[in-house]
Structures are given as C-alpha cells and as structure tokens.
C-alpha cells in the first residue's frame, strides 16, 4: 500500500499542479486577486488555459490550493499516528489543531489575501470537505465495520465543525445576525485564536465519538 515508484508521468503531473498553484498565488498577491485571469496563471505555469482547467475547476481553487495544499491526507495520518489509548475525540481534535496551526510566514500572507474576497473565502472553506474521506477511513478503523455509517457521519460532522471554526476566524470584524434569523443572544466568544475556535467547535461532538467508541470496545 506504498507508492511503488512514481513514473515520469505522475511526476510531471504533480509538477504542473504545483507550478499552477504557485503561479496562481504569486500573481494574486502581486496584482490583487481580481486582476489575475486564468490566462495569466496558465501562461506563468507554461501550460494552456485549457490545461489549467484540467487541474482546477475554478480560479479560486487554484489560489486557495496553494495554502490548503494536501492538508487532507495529513490530518488522517496525524489521527492514525496517535496511540490507540487516547480517546478518539481527543485524537481527532489534536490532529486537526496540529494541522491547522503550522502557519508558515508564506501562508499567513495568503490568508490575508483570502480574507479580502468572498469568493476566495468560500473556496477556502470548501476545502474542509476534502478531509471527510480520509477521516472516514481512520474513524472506521477505530470503531469497526459495524460503525461504517457512523464513521461517515462523524467525519462529515468534524468537517462541518472545522468549517464553522474557520468561518468565524476569517471574519474580519465581528458582526451580529450571523446565526439563524435572530441575534446570537449576545454572549458569544468575540474572537479567539484558531486553535481555541477549533477545539470549541469540536467539543460538542465529543459525546458522539465516545458513544461510538464504546459501542465497539465495552
């Protein structure tokens, strides 16, 4: 289940993908997100515009993917790396926080950019959906095949929680009427760091994980 030897074909493909990522982000930072056309990105990466669209389904996706890279796979690996003794809920929370905390200098600059445009923000939030599949796998491994459904649902819930945490974190200035049709009541956390937000968002799901875990190892 390891990488056999990645042939030339695959390596070239990854190189192109990386070139597009890098070009997209760099141009967006240099000239502003709205002043960059797909044509420019493709040219900077040395491919045709049509090829660009074989790699990314939207302009925003390319820019954002330079930041999110392949966090998806790393989260699953981070969960699997935790000793089997710790509670599943804790293992996941720690892994998630860990993977969303490596804010390199380079990335921080990009995040500021993302905050400025709603389309970019949305694209970034959509990347959380990518962690569902890997998470489903590791969760299912813990709670056994009888909980295959549950694994899927729990993974999706985690993704949703992470999304919510990021959503609030990327909010430039605090605003009200965010929840659903009525003010949030007035006493929500004003801002908070990203790790705190992530932990807070994941906390409500803990009981569900505990229950799922206990059902298999009584």
Residues in contact with a copy of itself by the rule CB under 8 A: 76, 132-137, 140, 145-157, 159-161, 163-164, 179-182, 184-189, 200-208, 210-212
Q: Is 12 in the site for DNA (CB under 7 A)?
A: yes
Nearer to a copy of itself, 6 or 183 (CB): 183
User: What CA–CA distance (Å, rounded) separates 82 from 79?
Assistant: 6
CA-to-CA separations, 87 to 107, 108, 210, in angstroms, rounded = 31, 32, 7
Angle at 27 between CA 23 and CA 33, to 5 degrees: 125
Binding part of the chain for DNA, among 7-15, 83-91, 105-113, 172-180 by CB under 7 A, reads 7-15
Q: Is 50 in the site for DNA (CB under 7 A)?
A: yes
Residue 152, contacted partner among DNA, a copy of itself, none, CB below 5-8 A by kind? a copy of itself
Nearer to DNA, 15 or 176 (CB): 15
User: What CA–CA distance (Å, rounded) separates 170 from 173?
Assistant: 9
Q: How far is the CB of 210 from a copy of itself (least distance, A)?
A: 7
Q: Is 44 in the site for DNA (CB under 7 A)?
A: no
Q: What is the DSSP secondary-structure string of 3-34? A: -----HHHHHHHHHHHHHHHHHHHHHHHH-GG
């Amino acid at each position: 289940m390891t990488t056999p030897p990645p042939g030339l074909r695959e390596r070239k493909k990854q190189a192109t993908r990386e070139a597009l990522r890098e070009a997209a982000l760099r141009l967006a930072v240099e000239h502003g997100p709205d002043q960059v056309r797909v044509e420019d990105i493709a040219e900077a990466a040395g491919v045709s515009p049509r090829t660009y669209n074989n790699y990314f389904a939207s302009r925003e996706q390319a820019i954002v993917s330079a930041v999110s890279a392949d966090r998806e796979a790393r989260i699953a690996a981070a969960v699997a790396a935790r000793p089997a003794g710790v509670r599943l809920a804790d293992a996941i929370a720690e892994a998630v926080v860990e993977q969303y905390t490596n804010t390199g200098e380079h990335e921080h600059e990009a995040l500021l950019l993302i905050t400025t445009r709603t389309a970019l923000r949305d694209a970034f939030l959509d990347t959380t959906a990518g962690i569902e599949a890997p998470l489903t796998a590791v969760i299912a491994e813990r709670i056994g095949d009888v909980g295959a459904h549950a694994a899927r649902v729990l993974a999706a819930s985690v993704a949703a929680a992470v999304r919510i945490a990021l959503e609030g974190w990327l909010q430039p200035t605090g605003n009200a009427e965010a929840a659903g049709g009525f003010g949030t009541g007035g006493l929500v956390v004003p801002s908070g760091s990203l790790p705190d937000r992530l932990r807070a968002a994941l906390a409500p799901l803990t009981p569900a994980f505990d229950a799922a875990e206990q059902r298999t190892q009584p």
